[in-house]
Amino acid sequence: MMRRLALIAALLAPPAAAESIVAGLSDSAVAITTDFAGSEIMVFGAVKREAPLRSDAPLRVIVTVEGPATPLTLRRKDHRYGIWMNTASVDLPAVPSFYALASSAPLDQALAPYEDARLGITLPRHLQDLGLMDGLAPDQAFQSALIRIRQGESRFQVKEGAIAFTEETLFRTDIALPAALVEGNYKVRIYLTRDGRVVDEVQRAIWVRKAGLERFLHRAAQDQPLLYGLAALLIAALAGWGASALFARLRW
């Protein structure tokens, strides 16, 4: 009986993928220091094959990098009574602090709509899967403003054709991380597609955290806010007294 069940399970199991991804990152951790001005992460890898290369349907590669979610308030200004003033706002509880997408070909060639609907890979579909588009509906202006503002800050990036894919075997791309990074775990997803269908997917992670004096001050403010505030007041008072004493001596 057990042998029969094992045979049935083997027959029903999905076949092993003919192609799979072997991928890596140039850095798995990014340290935010006082002079941090951004960073660049290289995503690279290769396609492992169990079958000959097909010429009828080329392979494509898509890479996404998603940062931790943070709350966001969008405000709209209108010209009223001769001045610009806030007339409407939307509070979003969790918006990706960073989302980058790179592909080896135009997305309409690399990804079928039904796969995008299933996995939420493209930026609009990913935001929709998070429920953000529902929160911004029915006002389309807020939807376009969210993407436009985050793209202007380099927090949302879409780069079609930015992945170098050599002979459908080796691939690499560089993802630029802006200076205003949020601490946390950044999810890296690499998709391998054929005819728009995802044939393999792997995930990696980039850990971003403050380091050195920046981390010490951040942790002090979070863990001991009262002592941190008193220390800040003391330092400000000493700095003011020192400047006053210095100018008094210079007058003499």
Query: pLDDT tens digit string along 187-242?
Result: 999 999 999 999 999 999 999 887 655 555 555 556 666 665 666 677 777 777 76
Omega into 52 within 30° of 0, i.e. cis?
no
Handedness of CA 4, 5, 8, 10 (dihedral sign): negative
- With residues binned 3-state (H G I as helix, E B as strand, rest as coil), the percentages for the chain, rounded to 5, are 35, 40, 25
> pTM score, two decimals?
0.75
Task: Pull the structure tokens for residue 87.
Answer: 């007339």
Q: Where are the alpha helices (DSSP H) in the chain?
A: 2-12, 107-110, 113-119, 123-129, 132-136, 140-152, 212-223, 225-251
Query: Strands 69-80 and 59-66, how do they pair?
Result: unpaired
Average pLDDT rounded to a whole number, residues 166-187: 92
Residue 3, pLDDT score: 46
The overall average pLDDT reported for the chain is 80
**AA letter at 70:** T
Q: Report the C-alpha gap between 100 and 31 in whole angstroms.
A: 19
**AA letter at 197:** R
Question: Is the separation of the CB atoms in 44 and 171 below 8 Å?
Answer: yes
Question: Is the separation of the CB atoms in 41 and 25 below 8 Å?
Answer: yes
- What does the chain come to in residues? 252
Cα 210 to Cα 48, 104, 118, distances in angstroms: 36, 33, 35
Residue 1, pLDDT score: 46
Question: Is the separation of the CB atoms in 163 and 34 below 8 Å?
Answer: no
pLDDT confidence of 118, banded at 50, 70, 90? Answer: very high
CA distance between the termini of the chain: 103
Query: pLDDT tens digit string along 32-81?
Result: 877 778 889 999 999 998 877 777 789 999 999 999 998 888 787 776 77
Chain centre to alpha carbon of residue 118: 19
Q: Report the C-alpha gap between 2 and 7 in whole angstroms.
A: 9
